[in-house]
Structure formats: C-alpha cells, structure tokens
Copies of this chain bind each other. A is one copy, B any other.
C-alpha cells in the first residue's frame, strides 16, 4: 500500500484525467460510487465499514486505504476496525492476511497524520 500522500495525489490526479476524458458511463459510475456511502437508513460509519469489509475480502489495497480514511473520518474506532478485520478474515481466509498487515500499517500512518494535522483527514475527491 502506498503511503498516504502518494496514494491521495495519484488517485486525485488520475481521477481527474479519467473524468475529463468524457465517457459518460464512467462519469456516472463514479457519481453512483460516491452516493452509495452517503448516510441513509444506515449511517456513514456503518456503510464505510461495509465498504471496508468488501474491499478486504476482494483484496483491493487501494479500496481498503480509501475506506480506512473514510471510516476513520466517520468516527470508526480501533476496536471497530479490528472486529471488521476479523469478519473479513473469517469470510475471505488467510489470503486476506497480507492485506490486513498493510491495512494495520496504513491505519497507524493515519493516526500519526492526525496527531500532526488534526483537522485534515479525508478531504478531496472520492474513489
């Protein structure tokens, strides 16, 4: 998993290129993706933890990083993350472990950032 700054910069730069290209289907999909995690009858934290679970069992590091950032901003605590990790590990098996290691490493980076820049988390484009 890339470090936080590299990850968010590459994501933002390439998302802009993709959206600028003008394929309407892709553009609308990106919008739907963002809307799916808006609070509804389920709150934002629950939805982000569900996105995190899905990302873990599908073993998508960038998706995991993204939902860790969003879930943290929505108020998820360390123990909630680990109960989520446990479910993903049981459902997805030992192939989830390498992604779990990188997730825990990335979570610690998020914690260090929050100490240094207390109000900066998770700003910028989705995806």
Quote the shortest CB–CB distance from A39 to chain B (angstroms).
Answer: 10
Quote the shortest CB–CB distance from A95 to chain B (angstroms).
Answer: 5
**Does A117 sit within 8 A of B, measured CB to CB?**
no
B93 with A50: CB separation less than 8 A: no
- B residues in contact with A42, CB < 8 Å: 49, 80, 83-84
Residues in A69-125 with C-beta less than 8 Å from chain B: 77-80, 82-98, 100-102, 104-105, 108
Task: State the interface size on chain A (CB cutoff 8 A).
Answer: 65
Quote the shortest CB–CB distance from A74 to chain B (angstroms).
Answer: 13
Q: How many angstroms between the C-alpha atoms of A90 and B90 in the bound complex?
A: 8
Q: How many angstroms between the C-alpha atoms of A77 and B11 in the bound complex?
A: 24
A60 with B63: CB separation less than 8 A: no
Q: What are 12 A-to-B residue pairs whose CB atoms are below 8 Å?
A: A11-B101, A14-B104, A18-B104, A26-B89, A28-B32, A32-B32, A36-B87, A54-B92, A54-B95, A92-B95, A94-B127, A97-B127
Which residues of A are in contact with B by a Cβ distance under 8 Å? 10-11, 14-15, 17-18, 21, 23-26, 28-30, 32-33, 35-37, 40-42, 46-47, 49-51, 53-55, 57-63, 77-80, 82-98, 100-102, 104-105, 108, 127
